[in-house]
Amino acid sequence: MRVRPILPLLVLACALALVAGDTRAAKAIGDYRYFRALSIDLLGRPPTRDELAQLESPEFSLDAWLDTHLTGPQYAERLRRIYMDTLRLEVGPSFQFVPNPLVLRRQQILGPDGEPMFVYWRRGQRRVDPASDGDFCLSPDDTGQQYPNNAAPTGTPRPVAKSVLDARTVVVKP
């Protein structure tokens, strides 16, 4: 009759031993999972058998392993590849680049002496002459060319008279 009270205690002790053994096994599995996650994050691949053998050795230091893998060109290249893919601008087909009206543009014309020169201007700028209001400051009659938006000039260039340049432009020295 005395055996019966000891039997539940024996069963309880065996259960506690199994649970304690499972906790140690779970910790080891957790270490492997952590090491695998670190290897994938730092190296871009799961750990090799040699790396797992190093992990299992008693002299393995996770901090030293991290220090060796956080430096070097492989880690920097992996981070660059990950973050450049994340930050890469993906412009949709409906996007059109329209420059701000404050953008200073330049157009090459022929000066009074027949030499090429640049005239700087802004689109949308108000002018006295209705033919050039909001557009290039010199008319097609003055230059011999048409200046379409976002395209190369068309026509045959001719020298612009000095009086026209003086009336419609301002010389600015830097």
| Residue 85, pLDDT score | 76
Indicate the helix (H) or strand (E) that contains 109.
strand 105-110
Query: What single string gives the DSSP state of each residue in 118-160?
Result: EEEE-TT---SSTTTTTS-SS-HHHHSEE--TTS--EE---PP
- Shared domain for 126 and 68, answered yes or no, is no
Average pLDDT score over residue span 123-146:
80
| Residue 46, pLDDT score | 92
Q: How many degrees, rounded to 5, is the angle at CA 38 between CA 36 and CA 39?
A: 65
Percent of the chain whose pLDDT exceeds 70? 81
- Shared domain for 73 and 114, answered yes or no, is no
State pLDDT tens for residues 87-129. 777 777 777 776 666 778 888 899 999 899 998 888 777 777 7
State pLDDT tens for residues 69-83. 888 788 888 778 878
- Shared domain for 125 and 72, answered yes or no, is no
Q: For 122-125, which contacts have Cβ atoms below 8 Å and span 24 or more sequence positions?
A: 123/99, 123/149
pTM (2 d.p.): 0.42
- Shared domain for 71 and 123, answered yes or no, is no
Residue finishing a domain among 42, 59, 87? 87
Q: Which residue has the higher pLDDT, 21 or 47?
A: 47
CB-CB contact of 83 with 75 (8 Å): no
Q: Is residue 143, in this structure, part of any structural domain at all? A: yes
CB-CB contact of 142 with 132 (8 Å): no
